[in-house]
Structure 1
Amino acid sequence: MSTLTVSPRGPLAGALPRPSSRARAFALDAALVVAGAAVVALLAQAEIPLWPVPITGQTLAVVLVGASLGVRRGGMALLTYLLAGLAGLPVFAGFSGSIAAVASPSFGFIVGFIPAAMVAGYAAQRAWDRRPLIAFAAFVAASIVPFLIGVPYMAFILNTVMGAELSVAQIFAAGVTPFIVGGLIKAAIAAAVIPLAWRGVAALDRDRD
């Protein structure tokens, strides 16, 4: 009978029973990747409109997906999300999606979600996601990653493409400051949810024994 198993290291998805055949293992990985992309698409619709970048639930979803799936599958889930949006599926904030999104000031953040999920996955694969305080630190680090790509991209679109001529301070005020408190809250939520999920897996594992 298939059961969940607590591994010394690895993401939550590693607790799932692994199919013996390569085809079924691939199908499981594909399903997890698509499910991860769907979670991000869903939380993207939890939106507080701001200019030039809205506040959404995407960062929380990115961290949860990355920590749950690991580096490879987490990164693939966010790449799938990005490609689905560019293909026209309404997965971005505000149920939007189009190749034209590349000209949006917020698009760099979406690109940054891919390495962010991988950072969260890296933490999970080293079991840093099982204690809330350590998980919180790791998830804050993962949450910073989209800004490393998103803020310069936003500045380029606003100043070079749109001709806004915003100063560095104005760019920071528009692309960083509004997200600090929310980012910490979302990292804290993820740092509570993931260790709790691991405790649930451990309880099921004990019941099996």
Structure 2
Amino acid sequence: MKFKTKDITKIALLVALIAVGAFISIPVGPVPITLQSFFIFMTGLLLTPFYAGLTVFIYLLLGLLGFPIFAGFSGGIQSFLKPSFGFLIAFVICAVFISKFTKGEKSFIKIVSALIISEIILYLIGLPYMYFILNKIMGTTISISKVFTIGMIPFIVPDLVKILLAAIIVPRISKIIKINS
């Protein structure tokens, strides 16, 4: 596959935005509220499925290589052992899913629906990972219901706001800068 300069630029810009989104953080337990998911939504809405997945993969790779671009200015291979890392893994799948199911879509409802489904995918991967890390690796005894309480409930309203903002803003950005061309 041959990459064009404009594709590399889009990927680099979105990797940087995802990293910036990680720095804008509100601690609420083992997983902070960040703007990362907003930029994952943008990535999926603006890029092809391959480029969307590649963008988030590059972000993860840079963080795992030690660049402090994860929430809390963290990074490194030890990030695998953080309760929140399952959500980062899910970001790759979510970006590809969003791109695949919203490409060329004009319907606000269909875009919002795809973003909500991607958020469900995020929870389906992130919550079991959190449960495993907290119980098996960190040695705490935490119930599945408590994982939902700390890993999902505080995020529902902020995630819905990010979904609505992305669904409103990104199609307008795309028209203005013709990012899909």
- Higher-Rg structure is 1
Q: Report deviation, 1:198.
A: 4.2
Residue 40 of structure 2 is aligned to residue 76 of structure 1: no
How many Å separate the matches in 1 of 2:142 and 2:35?
Answer: 27
Structure 1 segment 1-209 matched on structure 2, within 5 A: 25-125=3-103, 127-128=104-105, 130-200=106-176
3-state SS of paired residue (1:53): coil
Alpha-carbon separation, structure 2, partners of 1:143 and 1:63: 10
TM-superposed deviation, 1:49: 0.6
Aligned residue in 2 for 1:19: none
How many residue pairs get aligned? The number is 178
**Cα offset, 1:131, TM superposition:** 2.8
In structure 2, runs of 5+ residues without a counterpart are none
Measure the CA separation in 2 of the matches of 1:152 and 1:104: 13
Q: How far did 1:141 drift?
A: 1.4
Letter in 2 for 1:165: T
Matched residue SS, 2:73? coil
Distance 1:131 1:79 in 2: 28
| C-alpha separation in 2, matches of 1:31 and 1:46 | 23
Cα distance in 2 for residues equivalent to 1:187 and 1:53? 19
8 Å contact kept, 2:102–2:110: no
Aligned with 2:72: secondary structure? coil
2:117 aligned partner, one-letter code: A
Instruction: Note the C-alpha offset of 1:124.
Output: 2.8
Deviation at 1:139, TM superposition (A): 1.2
TM-score (ref. length: structure 2): 0.91
CA distance in 1, matches of 2:102, 2:112: 12
Determine if contact 1:113/1:145 at 8 Å carries over to the other structure: no
TM-score normalised by structure 1 residue count = 0.80
Question: Is the 1:32–1:73 contact (alpha carbons within 8 Å) kept by the matching residues of 2?
Answer: no
